Structure 1
Amino acid sequence: MSNERAIVHMDLDTFFVSCERLLDSRLIGKPVLIGGTSDRGVVASCSYEARKFGVHSAMPMRMAKQLCPEAIVLRGNSGVYSKFSNDVTEVIKESVPLYEKTSIDEFYIDLTGMDKFFGCHKLASELRQRIIKETGLPISFGLSINKTVSKIATGEAKPNNEINIIRGTEKPFLAPLSVKKIPMVGNVTYKTLCDLGVKRIQTVQEMPMELMHKVLGSNGLTIWKKANGIDNSPVVQYQERKSISTERTFGKDTTDVVKLKGLIIAMTENLAYQLRRGNKLTACVTFKIRYSDFQTYTQQKHIAYTAMDHNLIPAVLDLFYKLYNRRLLVRLIGVRFSHLVEGGQQINLFEDNQKHLSLIQSIDKLRERYGDRAVISAAGMEAKTISRWNPFNGEPPPLLANRHQ
């Protein structure tokens, strides 16, 4: 049947560690931890040798060092990882008709209908070998009729291997695995399921759908479907977004520096939030200012990859102070982030200040719930009309409202 889907999930094994090993072969075979290196740091990636000691990603670095004292600890270099990630993306892009890049190190590939020509497993296998040969990075994949089963299969294939789940065997493949293997079952949900005596996927398969709904709401339904190997979500063609920006034209030209500064902070916070929502980071900030005589000036600054307010706001304000001429009336200001890369959540773990990271994550949760102007810094309070716009859904930005004094 040609309408049967064939979906591959590919995931680069311990990606950051693998990149570091390509740069320094002495790291091969040794326990390696990558992340924020101070006591407040968090593990962004760890080698299989370190995992044997119970280390896992997102663990506080201090704890990881206690568990595995002989581990080599590295700061991590997001620019290097982005380059390797792009190398892998290029190989995939040249080889398949439809792929989706969901983070810096994982991809979904839709090979539906390709079996008429070569056989999907053979095609995926050859692609995997090509990636290993051309980039030197280990990569694993799972192949099945949908995203969920393929992603779980990749987890079972690791390290550096592949699994093909034959159509019709999805349920028996999933049955013996822990419910934790289902994407979207985090620690809280796992605890709820454990309290119900549910540890294996098979138990969920045997439960009535209504019971899962009663216990976990709509989440329960999704988990039940995934446990039963049902997932109709499509592979969405990947498009690299190069930049995001926002600008504001004043209804009345101004020299009010307090107002300007407040607005710049609000614009920067808003764009940073959009970056985090899209799981992206920026390495270049640009500030633009136009005076009442229509003279326009822009300046940019390269920074370490980030999506964090406390890194971006000072960079943008620094550009503003360099460009601002106090004697002139300002007509327009704009902020732009470019050189974007995906996989922000992982790379943000290099942040040494875990408090900052936790705070930002809590604030973002509130924004998701109550709107993206729900929580803003005091300095950004003035700017009431920063647009609510998700730059990663392909829609053009709305025109920002002019605000008359």
Structure 2
Amino acid sequence: MSRKQQLHRPGPPPGPPADDTGCSILHVDMDAFFVSVELLERPELRGRPVIVGGVGGRGVVSAASYEARRFGVHSAMPMTRARRLCPQAVVLPPRHAKYAAASAAVFEIFRSVTPLVEPLSLDEAFLDVAGALRRIGRPAAIAAAIRAQVAEQQGLTCSVGVANTKFVAKLASTRCKPDGLLVVPADGVLEFLHALPVAALWGVGERTEQNLLRLGLRTVGQIARTDLALLQRELGRAHGAHLHALAWGRDERSVVPDARDKSIGAEETFATDVDDPEVIRRELLRLAEKVGARLRDGGHEGRTVSVKLRRADFSTITRSRTLGDPTDLARVIYVTASELYEGSGLEGVRLRLVGVRVENLVPAGTAPRQLALGESEDGWHAAERAVDQVAHRFGRGAVRPAALVRRDTSRSARDTGDTGE
């Protein structure tokens, strides 16, 4: 059984209602969200393996229906491999505007229950429903009501974990997918946790998992019973202490409803590897334009610009620079990204993917600025906001920098505009 299959095995069959006393944290996770939204308009595809993702030769799976997952298809898998595993799958190109609209409607349902909603992505969130207990009922009843409203109003299904901590609630939603509800009683947390594989712990990636297996630690319970000093010696002081605490069900994090996006970025996988620096710079410009527009649309500015450069052999490097002042200007983002590319030592090297990201976000206009004598960014802000207005009315491609008017034939495949890593 693969690592992913271990983490997504269905939970136990339904039995008597679990005691949800003190379990005011919910983790709501939409089921195969992108695919489910597509099926609202393509109901004839229900029950069939469906994949959403890039359709070019370098495309990547964004989401897969549960029918496709049975063949081993999962998100972030190269589309070529997904097609080999499941040649009968229907492949649909992603429509991010559709998913964003559906997400907004679902989150309205969440916020009608409690203002304490912490988004993790378009399709999942933590909710603290302690303040809604007197008004609506017990936590499990609230979770059931949310699932019913999402199904009735949006035609979508979601899975909900109910627990006394964020970590356990998220694990519970994973264990009851798809279209399930699982309560982990406060006095049953250790029984629930200790039987799980070590990979279930937040912070255990493939490398940490291999280190734990090398130590003979295969279950969360075995980690809990391992001497803390040994874990810290093998994994590092902070990481060892973190995993030991989680193995005992300790997670002090609260639901933070106003958590801001940590970063906004976009990346592109080329149809064929590119070694022409001018083509790379043109792509960096396009991505900077996209990121700048998303920053302005979200009311953000960012202090740090980073580039992601993936070679033909899949090895990847990132370079970043923190600016003197936060920015939402594509011009500033592009110039910084270009300089980072030029200083990376990869000019002339064949690249498979490039990405641009702005991090350390702050609300737009709140940070003090110090401009050099005679310098003004007002003209650039006015110009880029004018482009935003045209784009909102006629589409983002209506006005573009001259360098992007001629669409480069090497562009392809995938653009991921992920927000809030």
Q: 1:339 aligns with which of 285, 297, 302?
A: 297
1:302-341 paired onto structure 2 within 5 Å: 309-313=284-288, 337-340=295-298
- 5 Å matches for 1:115-264? 115-117=133-135, 118-217=137-236, 218-238=238-258
Is the Cα contact below 8 Å between 2:264 and 2:294 reproduced in 1? Answer: no
Cross-structure match for 1:402: 372
From 304, 313, 338, give the equivalent of 1:377.
338
What displacement does 1:341 show?
Answer: 11
Quick check: 1:40–1:354 contact (8 Å CA) kept in 2? no
Deviations 1:207-237 (A, max 9, x none): 1222222111112221221222110111111
Q: Which amino acid aligns with 1:225?
A: A
Counterpart contact for 1:5–1:113, Cα < 8 Å: no
CA contact (8 A) 1:42 1:354 kept: no
Establish whether residue 31 from structure 1 lines up as the match of residue 49 from structure 2: yes
Return the alpha-carbon distance in structure 1 between the equivalents of residues 340 and 227 of structure 2: 52
Q: TM-score, normalised by structure 1?
A: 0.66
AA paired with 2:160? F
Offset of residue 5 of structure 1: 5.8
**In 2, distance between residues paired with 1:313 and 1:206?**
49
Corresponding position of 1:59: 77
Deviates more, 1:29-38 or 1:390-399: 390-399
Name the SS of the counterpart of 1:62 in structure 2: helix
User: Alpha-carbon deviation of 1:114?
Assistant: 3.8
**1:362 maps to which of 299, 303, 317:** 317
Match 1:390 to one of 354, 360, 369 = 360
Partner residue, 1:49: 67
- Whether the 8 Å contact between 1:11 and 1:141 is mirrored in structure 2 is yes
Measured in 2, the distance between the counterparts of 1:389 and 1:354 equals: 19
CA offsets, 1:237-269, max 9 Å, x none? 14788xxxxxxxxxxxxxxxxxxxxxxxxxxxx
Cα 1:341–1:108 shift into 2, 3 Å = farther
SS at match of 1:102: strand
Contact 1:389–1:398, Cα closer than 8 Å, also in 2: no
Q: Retained in 2: the 8 A contact 1:32–1:47?
A: yes
- Corresponding residue SS for 2:111: helix
Note if 1:94 corresponds to 2:112.
yes
**Distance across 1 between alignment mates of 2:83 and 2:299:** 29
Distance 1:195-1:389 versus aligned 2 partners, 3 A rule:
closer
Partners of 1:403 and 1:212 in 2: how far apart?
55
**Residues 25, 169 of structure 2: 8 Å contact kept:** yes
Is the aligned partner of 1:10 residue 2:10?
A: no
Query: Do 1:139 and 1:160's aligned partners in 2 also have CA atoms closer than 8 Å?
Result: yes
CA distance in 2, matches of 1:338, 1:110: 30
Match of 2:98, SS?
helix
CA distance in 1, matches of 2:115, 2:288: 40
Please state whether the residue corresponding to 1:56 is helix, strand or coil.
coil
Contact preservation (8 Å) 1:20, 1:27: no
**Aligned mates of 1:391, 1:168 — CA distance in 2:** 40
The residue type equivalent to 2:173 in the other structure is T
What letter is aligned with 2:123?
Answer: D
Distance in 2 between the 1:395 and 1:166 partners?
A: 46
**Could you tell me how far apart the structure 1 residues matched to 2:373 and 2:212 are?**
51
1:275-333 Cα distance to aligned partner (Å, 9 max, x none): 13xxx99xxxxxxxxxxxxxxxxxxxxxxxxxx845334679xxxxxxxxxxxxxxxxx
- Aligned Cα root-mean-square deviation (Å): 3.5
Cα distance in 2, alignment partners of residues 136 and 120 from structure 1: 23
- Displacement of 1:179 in angstroms is 1.5
User: Which stretches of structure 1, 4 residues or more, deviate above 4 A after TM superposition?
Assistant: 353-356, 370-373, 379-382, 392-395
CA distance in 2, matches of 1:87, 1:7: 21
CA gap of 1:30–1:231, structure 2 versus 1, over 3 A, is: same
Indicate the residue corresponding to 1:275 in structure 2: 264
CA deviation after TM superposition for structure 1 residue 355, in Å: 6.2
Where 1:362 maps in the other structure, the secondary structure is strand
Give the letter for the 2:317 counterpart: S
Identity rate of aligned residues, in percent?
30
In 1, Cα distance between the equivalents of 2:310 and 2:83? 16
TM-score by length of structure 2 reads 0.64
| Preserved contact between residue 118 and residue 256 of structure 2 (Cα < 8 Å) | yes
The separation in 2 between residues aligned to 1:119 and 1:234, in whole angstroms, is: 19
State the Cα distance separating 1:41 from its structure 2 match. 1.2
Does the 8 Å CA contact 2:284/2:337 hold for their aligned counterparts? Answer: no
CA contact (8 A) 2:55 2:92 kept: yes
Q: Which amino acid aligns with 2:27?
A: H
Give distance in 2, aligned partners of 1:48 and 1:204.
31
Q: Aligned equivalents of 1:232 and 1:91: distance in 2?
A: 26
